[in-house]
Every structure is written in C-alpha cells, then in structure tokens.
Amino acid sequence: MKQERALEFDTQVKLAVYRHFAETAKAPAVSEVARRIWSDVESVLAAYKRLRAQRLLVLEADGKSIRMAPPFSGIPTQHSVEAGGLRYFANCAWDTLGVLAALHKPGTVHSRCEQSGELLHLPVGLDGPGPTKWVFHCLVPAAKWWDDIVFT
Amino acid sequence: MLFFRSEEQVREWCEVNGYPKRPLVRMDQLWGLATAWYGTRLQEDARRPQPEEMRAIFAGLGLHGEFWDPQSDSFG
C-alpha cells in the first residue's frame, strides 16, 4: 500500500514537471512543483530521486534543479524548437523531434551541423519532417547511453 | 547525439576528432524514434521504453546491429 501511494505521488510529480515544461518551456523550481500538487519540497525531492532511477529526470549537482526531463532541457543548448509561440531547449538532436512528438504540435527545429556549423532550420509537421538530406549521428552505443547521459 | 548536413560531414567530424563512425539515421527514422520515445511523455502512464521494447522499436525502423542493442541496459 505504501509503495502504491509512492507510485501515485511520483506520477503527480512527473506530470507536474512535464506539464510545466510544456506550458512554459522552462524547468520548474522544486517549490513550484510542490505548490502545483499541494505537497512539500522534501516529498517532491524524494520523488525526484525515484524518477531519476526511471530515467525520467536528470538533476543538477545540487540535487534539486532539473537539468533534463527528456526530451526537455532545463538549460539552454544548441538544439531548440519553436512551437506554439514558445522556444524550447532540447537535450540533443533526437530530443528536438522528441519535444514536438511530446507536445503533438507542429514546429521548427533549430540546430546546426556539428562539423560545418551550417545552421539547420527544419519545419516539422504533425507527421514529422519533410524530405531532407540532413542526418543524425550518435557516437555512443545504445547500451551505454545512460552511463553518461549528458555526454550522450 | 548530433545533426549533420550529410554523411560526408559525419565522416570528416569523426576523422578530425578521432571518433568511430556510427550508423547514420535518416530524419524520417529519427521521427519514428522520437514518437516512440516521447509521444506519450505528457500522459499519466508515460515511461521510458524498456530494453525489449527498445529492440522492437529499433528493428521496426530498420536500425539493426550491435550498436542498437540495449543489452543489459535495465533500470528502474
């Protein structure tokens, strides 16, 4: 029963975090999450640790600031997405399309070619991007992605 | 996880930095990955795919080989 309550609470925290990102394009402060679900900061921080174990959150070294709620990034990156009048930051190239898939909105991906520096401005509809010769490259094999997710 | 203008740019980047060149992913395949991973992320039952599900997603998009095998990448 205790475990069921924790799972229910974690779901509330997860939804509060992700919906804040979707609505504002920014990471919520832990106090905002607590207020949104009528809880306290200590309980939310405990849930953050469990959500980290499920790979739904990555925290900064302070243990309370959200670095990643994949596909959303809590800090500015070279990968961003315009959708619904907001500009979202993504953790990587994959996550730019991930933001639009999560939002179920059309938008534009902004990034760059890592070798040439050429800028990418890619319109993406509800069914995905149109034909393009741009490609995606991942250096780290799938089994190792979470060994160092920031590098990946 | 990065974008490149072409395969040639990937090759140059790997040579310059001493990195191994990995399998390339087309943008339509990347959209498939994005929707499989994140399409339900704002919903109550959202979770990251487990290794068996990852294998099925990769295979369904034509991404085969050891590079895409999540192996023992279990969690949660």
Check if the beta carbon of residue A48 is closer than 8 Å to that of residue A40.
Answer: no
pLDDT for the residue A4: 65
Which chain A residue shows the shortest CA-CA distance from B13?
A115
pTM of the model: 0.89
Q: What is the pLDDT of residues A130-150, one digit of tens each?
A: 899 999 999 888 877 777 777
User: Which residues 6+ apart lie within 8 Å of A23 measured at CB?
Assistant: none
Collect all residues with Cβ–Cβ distance below 8 Å to B15 and sequence separation of at least 6: none
Q: Where are the beta strands (DSSP E) in A1-106?
A: 58-59, 66-69, 72-73, 80-83, 86-89
> Which of A103, A132, A137 is best to mutate for the B interface (most B CBs within 10 A)?
A137
Helices (H), A26-87: 30-36, 41-53
Q: In chain A, which residues have pLDDT < 70?
A: 1-7
Residue boundaries of the structural domains of chain B: 25-76
Q: Which of residues 52-91 of A touch B (CB under 8 A)?
A: 53-56, 70-71
The complex scores an ipTM of 0.88
Using CA atoms, how far residue A138 sits from A58, A142, A148, B22, B70, in Å, is 20, 9, 13, 7, 14
The partner residue sitting opposite B44, judged by closest CB among A15, A95, A116, is: A15
Cβ atoms within 10 Å of B17's Cβ, excluding its own: 10
Contact A48, A28 (CB under 8 A): no
Task: Name the residue of chain B whose CA is nearest to A150's CA.
Answer: B1
- Write the pLDDT tens digit of every residue in B4-61: 999 999 999 999 999 999 999 999 999 999 999 999 999 988 878 888 889 999 999 9
